Amino acid sequence: TILFSASKDKTVREWDMIQNTDRKTLPGHNNVVWDVVVTNDGQQIVSVSHDETIRWWDTMSGEQKKMAKGHTSTIYTAAVSSDGKLLATGSADKTVRIWDMETAECVKVLTGHSSHVTSVAWIPDTTDRLVSSSWDETIKLWDTTSGTPIFTFTGHNSKVNCLAVTPDGDYIVSGGEDKSVKVWRISTLECFKTMPTHKEEVTAVAVSPDGKYMASASMDCMIKMYKVTSV
């Protein structure tokens, strides 16, 4: 089992989770690496950084294959579409950019947020529906073909730090500076549930691949897990 990590030491590292060893270090960024994602086929890694670049790496060799620039400030987040053809990135420049995974060219710029974009996620099995969270206290659902927002979810009363989408594409899970975890139903465009379970701001949320569990992490030094059926 392999894990890839992003770090303030400007590198991406590959870890063997069975042997508990550092297998490979991928240097190249010249500032903090904020996010790293692996394509569904496991062939490529994509990293984004405070240095405003996106870098593509070969998983097996660790060789950097491509590099792209376009954002004008720190890039915090990245997500690859289910078919592996498109990459979405979010930045402190308040934009979301869509990139062609093959050519590393920017094919669309999504504007609408009024502050840092902190997280992006594709709706599963689509290449034209994307969600993003922002320090402007909102979550946006985008039509990436037209480049326009379909809907803006409001409800957090402070910065939204993170989001995830359930594997069935029905719900968005978000966490924010307001210490809450919220679940949003995409079909009705409404907040389905609010869980004020943390004592400090929520910095990360995740949904298990089978969709049965959710997890949230917070600056209160706690990680909490929830059964989706109980949410």
**pLDDT tens digits in sequence order for the chain, 231 residues long:** 899 999 999 999 999 999 889 899 999 999 999 999 999 999 999 999 999 999 999 999 999 999 999 999 999 999 999 999 999 999 999 999 999 999 999 999 999 999 999 999 999 999 999 999 999 999 999 999 999 999 999 999 999 999 999 999 999 999 999 999 999 999 999 999 998 789 999 999 999 999 999 999 999 999 999 998 766
Q: Please tell me the predicted confidence (pLDDT) of residue 164.
A: 98
Q: Please tell me the predicted confidence (pLDDT) of residue 231.
A: 63
Distance in angstroms (rounded) separating the CA atoms of residues 91 and 106: 14
Q: Please tell me the predicted confidence (pLDDT) of residue 20.
A: 87
Which tokens sit at 52?
């405003």
Entry pTM: 0.95
User: Which sign, positive or negative, has the C-alpha torsion 24, 29, 33, 36?
Assistant: negative
CB 173 within 8 A of CB 180: no
Q: Please tell me the predicted confidence (pLDDT) of residue 230.
A: 61
Q: Please tell me the predicted confidence (pLDDT) of residue 229.
A: 72
